[in-house]
């Protein structure tokens, strides 16, 4: 997919969508999407399980042009949630990971040498940000709280709904497309890394935070909902034989989350980790080995005895752990 041409879609969404039917959540509202699917629309995961509050927040962003930020711990599916909503609306979606290497030049564009009529010329090559603004695109900034300050000030220009993007190098002002939408995902709420889990995150200017219209929190789900999510991704765990195993996996995950909240351990198990554990269990056919390979081996030696105790409480199996030497 290249950004050298505009996306050919109507100026406004032209398909009415029943939220309760399409997203399988209890809601009486309807939203609009596009009839036609383009190459920029994410693929639909038919087994995806939607969280009601988060889904309604994202839909408000699409339907009412609100700037929506989704905050939560790692592995909760923040970015995927936005993508799967966009997929069902047939709304083109672009994700940009705002790591520390992304600069304002990467976003806005830069001069590039091209061949034209057999001669080398210098021509401005537009970046993803100005291209997205001029198209019916849902732009998602992943890891928004890890962005560099110079990048954040570029983004601040377009946080206003009618915010125009000024390209000083080109003496050009870009008006946003009526169907341009903006989303972000973060692990923190703009206060920097207060948990010790997210090194590299920055404090976000409160003037900028104030420009986000909706801030929805997507943290870990209740066990029943989390069970559905894992089963939707690892179908082999559906069987009667594996149901109790999966329930105990989720029980152990919640023990790590409570242990983290109480300050007993410095790491916790995300839904992504449970899915990985279930997949590894399918491969190795061994609950202990798959637990070690998926989670335990990533943990601090000093904390492994606590995690082994959690495992024993859930599965009634003792894990041999040498632990740190005295």
Over the stretch 256-307, which tens digit does the pLDDT of each residue have? 999 988 889 988 898 899 999 999 999 999 999 999 999 999 999 999 999 9
pTM: 0.80
User: Which residues lie below 8 Å from residue 109, measured CB to CB, with a gap of 6+?
Assistant: 124, 125, 126, 127, 130, 167
DSSP 8-state code for residue 216: E
Over the stretch 82-140, which tens digit does the pLDDT of each residue have? 999 999 999 999 999 988 788 888 888 887 777 777 788 887 778 899 999 999 999 99
Distance (Å) of CA 229 to CA 20, 103, 220, 249, 275 = 18, 36, 11, 13, 9
46 pairs with which residues across the strands?
none
Over the stretch 136-195, which tens digit does the pLDDT of each residue have? 999 999 988 887 888 888 888 888 877 888 887 778 888 999 999 999 998 876 555 555
């Amino acid at each position: 997919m290249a950004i050298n041409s505009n996306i050919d879609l109507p100026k406004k969404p032209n398909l009415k969508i029943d939220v309760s039917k399409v997203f399988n959540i209890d809601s009486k509202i309807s939203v609009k999407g596009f009839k036609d699917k383009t190459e920029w629309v994410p693929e639909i995961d038919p087994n995806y399980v939607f969280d009601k509050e988060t889904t309604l927040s994202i839909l408000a962003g699409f339907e009412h042009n609100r700037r929506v930020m989704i905050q939560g711990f790692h592995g909760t599916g923040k970015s995927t949630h936005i993508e799967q909503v966009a997929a069902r609306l047939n709304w083109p979606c672009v994700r940009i990971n705002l790591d520390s290497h992304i600069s304002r030049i990467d976003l806005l564009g830069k001069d590039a040498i091209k061949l034209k009529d057999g001669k080398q010329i210098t021509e401005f090559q537009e970046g993803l940000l100005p291209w997205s603004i001029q198209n019916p695109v849902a732009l998602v900034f992943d890891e928004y709280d890890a962005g560099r300050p110079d990048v954040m000030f570029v983004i601040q220009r377009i946080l206003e709904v009618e915010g125009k993007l000024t390209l000083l190098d080109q003496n050009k002002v870009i008006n946003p497309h009526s169907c341009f939408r903006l989303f972000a995902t973060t692990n923190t709420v703009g206060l920097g890394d207060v948990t010790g889990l997210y090194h590299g995150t920055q404090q976000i200017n409160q003037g900028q935070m104030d420009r986000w219209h909706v801030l929805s929190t997507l943290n870990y789900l209740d066990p029943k909902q989390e069970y559905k999510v894992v089963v939707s991704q690892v179908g082999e765990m559906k069987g009667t034989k594996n149901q109790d195993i999966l329930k105990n996996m989720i029980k152990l995950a919640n023990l790590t989350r409570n242990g983290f909240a109480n300050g007993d351990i410095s790491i916790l198990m995300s839904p992504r980790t449970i899915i990985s554990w279930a997949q590894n269990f399918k491969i190795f056919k061994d609950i202990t080995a798959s637990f070690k390979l998926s989670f335990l081996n990533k943990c601090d030696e000093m904390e492994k005895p606590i995690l082994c105790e959690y495992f024993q409480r859930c599965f009634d199996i003792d894990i041999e752990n040498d632990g740190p030497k005295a």
